A and B are shown apart, each in its own frame.
Chain A
Amino acid sequence: MKDPVLILGGRSDIGLAIAHAFAAEGHPIQLAARNAQGLEVQGKDLSLRHRVEVSLHEFDALAPDSHEAFVTGLEPRPGVVVCAVGLLGDQQEDERDMAAAIRVMRTNFEGPASVLGHLANRFAAEGEGVIVGISSVAGDRGRGSNYIYGSAKAGFTAYLAGLRNRLAGDGVHVLTVKPGFVATAMTEGLDLPAPLTAQPEELGAAVLRAVAKRRNVIYTRPVWRLIMGVIRAIPEPVFKKLSI
C-alpha cells in the first residue's frame, strides 16, 4: 500500500486539489483542519473517486500546544505532509489592527512552522518523509500592498529552506511551493489576470510531479519565477517609490 498523504489545511482549495492528485495515484489521504467533521463531503468525494482510504483529523494551526500530540497521534504514519494552511488577511485593516496582523503572521508562519517542526523530527527519526510547504511569491519581497502576509510567508520560506538543509542527510525531502495567483476561496472576488492565475488542479499536478522529482523550490505558474526575479532585482531606492 502507498504512504498516506497528510493535508494540513484540508479544507483549502489548493490542499484538496493536491489531495486529489495524490489520491488518483492510490495514496490514502488524511485531511486535517479545524472543525474536521465538516469535511465529510470532501472526504467522501475523494474516496469515491479514487477508491482510497480518507480520514479526518482535528487540527488548529493556532494551537501550537496541541501539535506534538497531533503529530504523534497520526496513524498510519504519513509519508508526505502538505501544509496548505494560510490566511491572507486585509492589509489595510491589518495595518491598523495589530491583533489582526498578528493572527495573519501566526497563521502563515508560526503555526505551520510549529507543526512541521514536529513532523520533521518524526520523519528524521524514521529516516524518511516528504514535507511540502505552500508558501507564496508574496514572501519573495516585501511590498507595501501586502507585507504583513508577505513577511510571514518570507519567514515560512526561510524556515522550509532551513529544514531542507538540516534534513538533507536524513532522507527527508522538503519542497517549497510558491504560488502566484490561484483561483481559490482566498482570492474569490479579486480581479486576477487570467494568464497569471493557476487553477488549483494545476497545483495538484505540479506538486505531484515535483515530489516525484524531488524538486526543492517550484513556482506555479512557472512564469512567476521570472516575474519575481525582476521584482527582486529592482534596487531598493527605486522599489520604495513604486506602488506595487
Chain B
Amino acid sequence: MSRPLSGWGRYPKIAPETLARPRSDAAVAEAMAKGPLIARGNGRSYGDSALSEGQVLDMTAFRHILSFDPQTGLVEAEAGVLLGDLIAAFLPLGFFPFVTPGTKLVTLGGAIAADVHGKNHLRDGSFGHHVAWIEIMTAEGEVLRCTRASNSGLFQQTIGGMGLTGVILRAGLTLRPVETGWIAQDMRPARDLAEAMAIFEEAAADADGPTYSVAWFDCLGQGAALGRSLVMLGDHARLEQLTPRRRARPFVTPEKRRLNVPLDAPGFALNRYTLRAFNGLYYRAGARKAGPSLVDWDSYFYPLDAIANWNRIYGRRGFAQFQCVLPLAEARPGLEELLAAISEAGQGSFLAVLKRLGPDTTAHSFPMEGYTLALDFPVTPAALALLDRLDKITLDHGGRFYLAKDSRLTAQTLHAADPRLATLAETRRSEGWDARFASAQSRRLQL
C-alpha cells in the first residue's frame, strides 16, 4: 500500500495498492503484467482521473526532450515532460505550444490523454490537433507508434482517452512560431452575460480576430450583475509591438515573484462574504485596467502557477471542479440557469471561467461548439448538492462534461450527456484494454 494520492483538487484521496515509477519501456511492460494500471503525470487533473485503488504508474521519470526541428517546430519528447519545460527550452528560439491549459505544470502525456484545450479552441482546436505521433505501450505490451496515417484508430482514441487505451510513452508535438514572449491583451469589462457573449461572438465572427479569448466571471453577482465579467482577448505580440528596449530581447520577460500557500486554509476563510468581496475587488481592479496592454506569457496564460499550492486555499477537504460545455444554441439560457443556481446557493467560486469553444472533430474529447463554464467549490455537502443541480441543468441543455476536472459525476449522467463514451467503453471491453488500464474514474463512470 502506498500513501494516498489525489488530483489537484485534493478530493478524493485514494491510496494505490502499488505505485511504480518506471524508467524504461521495459519497466512499464513489467508493471502492466502485474495488473490493471493507470498512468499518472504531474497530478494536475482535478479529480480521480489519475488515481486508482490498484496500480498507479508515475510517469515523471519519462522526462527527456528527445529532439527539436526549428524548421517545422516539431518537438519529440517523453510523456512526463512538462509543458513548462517545452516553453523554457523553445520559447527562446521563438516557439510556444499551440494549445495550453491554464497551468504549464501538466505533462505532455496528460495533455494528450485529457486532450486539453486553451483560450483558442475556436482558432486552433484542442491539444491533440497538434500532436504528430504518439508512442503507446499497448494492452499487448508492445510499443506502437501511432499517427493520423498509421494505427490511426488507436491514435484518435488515445487523444482524449484519459489513459484508458494504453500508456503514452513519447509523442511528437508541433509548436507555434512566435515573434515575442508577450501577449497583446485587450481587456473588456462586461456588465452582464449578454454583453460578455456579444464580445465573444464578435471576436469569433472575425476570421482575423483575436487568437485567445476568455472571460472571468463573478458568480455571486445577483440580478443585474448576473454574469458581470472581464473578457480578455489576446494575441501573440509581434516584434514591432514591443518597445525598442524589449525588441532587442523579445523572449526575455520579467522573473515572476513566486508565492506559496504553505498551509491548508481553515474552513471558515472562504465563505460567500469573503468571496463576494474578493470578486468585487477583482472586477473593479480589472475594469480599471480595461483596454489594450502587453502582458508577459507567464502572467497571461498561467497566473495561478505563480502561487504554488494554490489548491490549499480550499482547506483540507479539497475542492471539486465543475466544467461543462453547452452547445451554441443553448448556451445563453443554459448559462443563465447555471449562474442563477450558483448565485442562489451562495456557493461562490474564486475562479469562474467562461470560454467560447469551436467545432469538435475528435473521437471523444470534451470540447464542442459552444460555451464552456468552469468553476470550483470547496467539498461540502451543500456544494455537492449544488453540483448535482448543475449536472441536471447541463444535461437539460444538451451539454457535456470535462473528465479532467471531474471527481463526482455519476455514470448515468455522463453517458446520458455523451453517447460517444459508450463506444469507448465498448471498445475497451472488446479489445481487452479494460483489463490493463483502469482508473478510479473509469470504474466510477463505467468507461
A41 to B64, Cβ gap below 8 A? yes
A44 to B63, CA, bound (A): 12
In the complex, B430 has a CB within 8 A of chain A: no
Identify which of A42, A45, A49, A188 contacts B21 (C-beta below 8 A): A188
A48 to B92, CA, bound (A): 11
Given contacts A48-B89, A49-B89, contact A42 B64 (CB under 8 A): yes
Q: Give the bracket for the number of chain B residues in contact with chain A.
A: 10 to 19
A44 to B67, Cβ gap below 8 A? yes
B23 to A185, Cβ gap below 8 A? yes
Task: Name A47's closest neighbour in chain B (CB-CB).
Answer: B65
A79 to B94, CA, bound (A): 32
Q: Which of A30-81 contact B (CB under 8 A)?
A: 41-42, 44-45, 48-49, 51
Q: Give the bracket for the number of chain A residues in contact with chain B.
A: under 10
B21 to A48, Cβ gap below 8 A? no
In the complex, B269 has a CB within 8 A of chain A: no
- Distance (whole angstroms) from the CB of A46 to the closest CB of chain B: 9
Given contacts A185-B23, A188-B21, contact A49 B66 (CB under 8 A): no
Task: Name A191's closest neighbour in chain B (CB-CB).
Answer: B3
A51 to B68, CA, bound (A): 12
Given contacts A41-B66, A42-B64, A44-B67, contact A49 B23 (CB under 8 A): no
Identify which of A42, A45, A49, A188 contacts B88 (C-beta below 8 A): A49
In the complex, B53 has a CB within 8 A of chain A: no
User: What 0/1 readout, one digit per residue, does chain A (149-171) give for beta carbons within 8 Å of chain B?
Assistant: 00000000000000000000000
- Pick the most buried of A42, A44, A185: most chain B CB atoms within 10 A of its CB: A44
B67 to A49, Cβ gap below 8 A? no
A45 to B23, Cβ gap below 8 A? no
- Distance (whole angstroms) from the CB of B404 to the closest CB of chain A: 26
In the complex, B85 has a CB within 8 A of chain A: yes
Identify 23 residue pairs between A and B in the complex whose beta-carbon atoms are under 8 Å apart, listed by A's number: A41-B64, A41-B66, A42-B64, A44-B64, A44-B65, A44-B66, A44-B67, A45-B63, A45-B64, A45-B65, A45-B66, A48-B65, A48-B66, A48-B67, A48-B68, A48-B89, A49-B65, A49-B85, A49-B88, A49-B89, A51-B92, A185-B23, A188-B21
- Distance (whole angstroms) from the CB of A50 to the closest CB of chain B: 8
A48 to B69, CA, bound (A): 11
User: What 0/1 readout, one digit per residue, does chain B (65-100) give for beta carbons within 8 Å of chain A?
Assistant: 111100000000000000001001100100000000
Q: Which of A173-196 contact B (CB under 8 A)?
A: 185, 188
- Pick the most buried of A48, A51, A188: most chain B CB atoms within 10 A of its CB: A48
